[in-house]
Amino acid sequence: MAEINEQDILGALENVKVPVSGESIVQAGMVRGLQMKDGHVAFTIEVDPEQGPKMESLRKEAEKTVHALDGVLTVTVVLTAEKAAGATPPPQQAPIDPGTTGAAPQQSGNPIPGVDAIVAVASGKGGVGKSTTAVNLAMGLAAAGKKVGLMDADIYGPSMPRMMGITGQPVSNDGKNLEAMENYGVKVMSIGFLVEDDSPMIWRGPMVQSALEQMMRDVNWGELDVLVVDMPPGTGDAQLTMAQRVPLTGAVIVSTPQDIALLDARKGLNMFRKVDVPVFGIIENMSYFNCPHCGERSEIFAHGGARAEAERLDCDFLGEIPLDIDIRVTSDGGSPIVVSQPDGEHAKAYRAISEVVTQKIDRALAQLEAEAPRIVIQ
């Protein structure tokens, strides 16, 4: 396969003309954020906000043009709009009252073919161990015999390739869909497979949303019982995209026991409730620390805060995981503790949480099936 470079792509895009001016989108300075790695190409086309809806055909033409180049496997092209300085902003909708459930219930979205359930693992802020929890939750589900996928939705800080011990790039057997990577019996997809390790993702919200859509829809996940999604921290575009574009079966919130983390965890939990996604419960990570030398227990970030918060918010407390060097070492080394130390106390704790999540998934799916309309022929 020929190696694609920036000049090849820009040269091809010289043939894509702006309808009104006749300039190429390259000459007009509309091509931004060009990223490429091993045949996977992504960029944005910056357009006038007022012309945005009319430019979809331009976006499709650019995507088709680049995809036709030898050596290109996949292409992601997103329209973005910059409002000129001093321009009158468009009228905005009134904000949603935080005390209500919103103007309308969220759309359930379209299912991912072959995927029975989708569970989001989220946190209100970074640094609480959400990704480590997502990986070991997936490993626990797989250990129980489930067919599991793991999707890294943290576009700006992907960590699944390293945590899962996977190197290389996904392939496309049909030129359209990527094959999910796999290790420990779990299928994995991450933007980290498609860009250089030290390459920053300088993408605006629409491009992030498009990338998430492609990882959901343009990846061959096969038949899965559960797709675990490692969400980015916070309550932004990625969370809303997942909640609105696919039917999330439920969400798991991860927090440390300290007050500042719980404050943000509360926001994350309430966001899922506002878009009608069931919250399965809260996990308290870094709950305590046992000194490996003397055995003394220290509650570095306090203890029990997540349990108390779960009671206050009327949701389940799923369990607690300690702050332990083995969890960190196995995660950094690409061998999650559930598979590398399956008989250890920490692995047992993760598997216990996985069992509770499995029960909640089963109940949620049963409820959806019971509520589905039935056609009766008399």
The DSSP result for 255-295, as a single string, is E-SSHHHHHHHHHHHHHHHHTT--EEEEEEES--EE-TTT-
Q: Is 373 helix (H, G, I), strand (E, B) or coil?
A: coil
Contact 311, 275 (CB under 8 A): no
228 closest CA partner among 162, 156, 135: 135
**Residue among 46, 58, 42 nearest 209 (CA):** 42
Residue 35: helix, strand or coil by DSSP? strand
Strand partners, 289: 298
169/41 Cα distance (integer angstroms) = 13
Q: Give the distance, in angstroms, between the CA of residue 80 and the centroid of all CA atoms in the same chain.
A: 21
Cα gap 222→214, rounded to integer Å: 15
Query: What tens digit of pLDDT does each residue of 5-59 get?
Result: 899 999 999 999 998 888 999 999 999 888 887 788 888 888 876 666 678 888 8
Burial 71-83 (b: 16+ CB within 10 A, else e): ebbbbbbbbbeee
Write down the pLDDT at residue 344: 94
**Per-residue pLDDT tens digits for 62-119:** 989 999 999 888 888 877 765 444 444 444 333 333 333 333 333 356 788 899 999 9
Answer for the pair 79, 63: CB distance below 8 angstroms, yes or no. Answer: no
Distance separating alpha carbons of residues 38 and 72, to the nearest angstrom:
8
d(CA 318, CA 355): 10
Helix (H, G, I), strand (E, B) or coil at 215: helix
Q: What percentage of residues in the chain have a pLDDT greater than 70?
A: 86
By CB atoms closer than 10 A (0-12, 13-18, 19+), residue 35 is buried
Q: How many helices (H) and strands (E) does the chain have?
A: 11, 15
Give the pTM: 0.73
In the predicted model, what is the mean pLDDT of the chain?
Answer: 84
The structure tokens listed for 226 are: 């559960």
Measured in residues, the chain has a length of 378
10 Å Cβ neighbour count for 143?
19
The stretch 278-298 carries a mean pLDDT of 91
Reported as a single tens digit per residue, the pLDDT across 146-203 is: 999 999 998 888 999 999 999 988 888 887 788 999 999 999 999 888 877 766 666 6
Q: What percent of the chain has pLDDT over 90?
A: 46
Domains annotated on the chain, with CATH: 6-81 (3.30.300.130), 115-371 (3.40.50.300)
User: pLDDT value at position 216?
Assistant: 86
What are residue 73's phi and psi, to 5 degrees? Answer: -100, -50
Q: What is the pLDDT of residues 313-324, one digit of tens each?
A: 999 999 999 999
Give the span between the Cα atoms of 67 and 175, in whole angstroms.
Answer: 9
**Averaged pLDDT for residues 291-300:** 88
| HSE-CB of 263 using CA atoms within 13 angstroms | 3
